[in-house]
Amino acid sequence: MELVQFIPLDINNALLLIVVGFVGGMVSGFIGSGGAFVLTPAMMSLGVPGIVAVASNMCHKFPKALVGTIKRHKYGQVDLKLGLIMGVFAEAGVLTGKHFMSGIKHDFGAVGTDLYVSVIFIVTLAIVGTYVLKDYRKLKAGGGESTEVPKLARWVQSVHIPGTMVWSEGAKAHISLVFIAPVAFATGMLAATIAVGGFIGVPAMIYLFGLPAIMASATELMIAFVMGLGGTIFYALEGVVDVRLAMLILLGSLFGVQLGAIGTTYVKDYQVKLVMATIMLIALFSRFFYIPGYLSKLGLIEAMDEGTLKMLKLGGDIVLGIALVLGAVIVLTSLIKGIREHKASQIPSPGVGMQD
Amino acid sequence: MAATSSRGLVRMLVYGILTFVFYWGLVTYSEEISHLSLTTPDTCVVAQGPETGVYHKPEAEACQAKGGTMQDGNWMHVLAPIVIAFVISFSHGAFTGLFWEVVGLKAKK
């Protein structure tokens, strides 16, 4: 038997969740990706078990993803057919990922899921963070985003396997299910593990399938909705979705996400990439502080005393706090500075005014 | 122009009040909502002082030893988080969108 507890909803926890949601939302609106990569570890820092944090995050994301899909579909940015097909395979990935997570919870308890989520977080954020940092350097050096179809995508589009070809409106090409299915499955697996599937889905759609970046991120929203809804149902059947947490995170994040999205229109592309990489790498670093505690509780290393565990947890909380505060400060200062500069540029000089 | 902004303000207030009511309900019925979620699968429910302990993957003997009651799960409880998430997201999403509009913060064109 496993005792399952949701954290008490006292005023301190509620306020912290709202603030974390606000900052996480602001960062996610600014960098254009789901904020779960800061929200999931932040929830875990508040004492929420890994499996409940992931499940509740999926629950907070899917209605937002639906609204985003509808909005961006109006601008013609969503590849509906590809999104739907990927959604189906991603759902299989979510189911498998959830099954795996439940197995860990059953065999090792909630601490087992904490360790599992943390390790996958570190690996994923290290890969994605490093890649984004490289992208930042390229963009800053004046490389710019290439509009050409990547070489790998051209090869994928050239592979013709009868009976498996799917027309992608976004890529303007046929793509075989042989490529679509594993990518979508992996996206779902990652979503069910750390609540962020877009780290696989978006780059794969750009570099493997040849979709323009704007269509890839819009189509990912549709996949995120399908995965989020499915994930919420699967995890809710296990009784681990804490909708109170999800909604308190949402309370802050809906304000933050719009502020962050407005902020991006006032800054340069490479600045956004730098913020993304910095926050990812700091959030990654914070997880290292918690791992000894998990290993100790699982009996995988020598038992550590309470004082040391508390100090390590405090260290992790501080590092994660730095990531969140840094994210908030960068977004807000960019927004304020950008608005000032924009307003200054809008004031016509006296001479120009006379001519009008 | 003034009519449009006052209409925006009224809509923002309506959605704001609606959102406030939903969140008030969420906090007020926090215990009941948690219990509903936790008891979606089969459980062993144990009264622990003023609180209730909910055990998943229950075993009849272990449950009895703890003085708990075996309870059959109800898959219909899955609807609770989904409906709550949809309703609050819709109302709160509309409110925040109108809020930033009324505040006058817009994306650079």
DSSP secondary structure code for residue A245 in this structure: H
Low-confidence ranges of chain A (pLDDT < 70): 32-34, 143-147, 347-356
Nearest to A66 by CA among A226, A234, A249: A226
pLDDT of residue A115: 93
Select the residue of B37, B88, B97 nearest A241 (Cβ to Cβ): B37
Select the residue of A3, A254, A265 nearest B53 (Cβ to Cβ): A3
Opening angle at CA A266, ends A259 and A203, nearest 5: 80
pLDDT of residue B26: 92
Cα dist. A105→A1, A109, A116, B56 in Å? 11, 4, 10, 11
- Chain B: give the shortest CA distance to residue A214, in Å: 17
Nearest to A116 by CA among A59, A51, A61, A45: A51
Q: How many residues appear in chain B?
A: 109
The reply to whether A303 touches chain B by the CB within 8 Å rule is: no
pLDDT of residue A272: 78
Which residues have C-beta within 8 Å of that of residue A159, sequence separation ≥ 6?
A176, A178, A179
Best to test chain B binding among A113, A244, A345 (most B CBs inside 10 Å):
A244
Asked if B36 and A6 touch (Cβ cutoff 8 Å), the reply is no
pLDDT of residue A247: 93
Best to test chain B binding among A243, A267, A331 (most B CBs inside 10 Å):
A243
Find, in chain B, the residue whose alpha carbon is nearest to that of A338: B108
Within 13 Å and on the Cβ side, how many CA atoms surround A57?
Answer: 30
The reply to whether B36 touches chain A by the CB within 8 Å rule is: no
pLDDT of residue A354: 36
Grouped pLDDT means (10 residues each) for chain B, 109 residues: 73 94 93 90 84 84 88 91 92 88 73
Nearest to A9 by CA among B33, B99, B83, B4: B33
User: Looking at beta carbons, which residues of chain A come within 8 Å of B85?
Assistant: 59-60, 62-63, 232, 243, 246-247, 250
pLDDT of residue A145: 59
The reply to whether B16 touches chain A by the CB within 8 Å rule is: no
What are A250-279's pLDDT values in tens digits? Answer: 898 888 887 887 777 777 777 777 888 888
The reply to whether B60 touches chain A by the CB within 8 Å rule is: no
Classify strands A173-176 and B43-48 as parallel, antiparallel or unpaired: unpaired
The three-class DSSP label of residue A302 is coil
ipTM, two decimals, is 0.87
**Beta strands, E only, chain B:** 43-48, 51-56, 69-71
Within 13 Å and on the Cβ side, how many CA atoms surround B77?
Answer: 24
User: A328 exposed, middle or buried (CB, 10 Å; 0-12, 13-18, 19+)?
Assistant: buried
Alpha carbon A61 to its chain's center: 10
Select the residue of A106, A240, A259 nearest B57 (Cβ to Cβ): A106
Q: Would you state the structure tokens that stand for residue B66, as one six-digit string?
A: 């703890």
CB contact under 8 A, A6 and B34: yes
Tell me if the pTM is above 0.90.
no
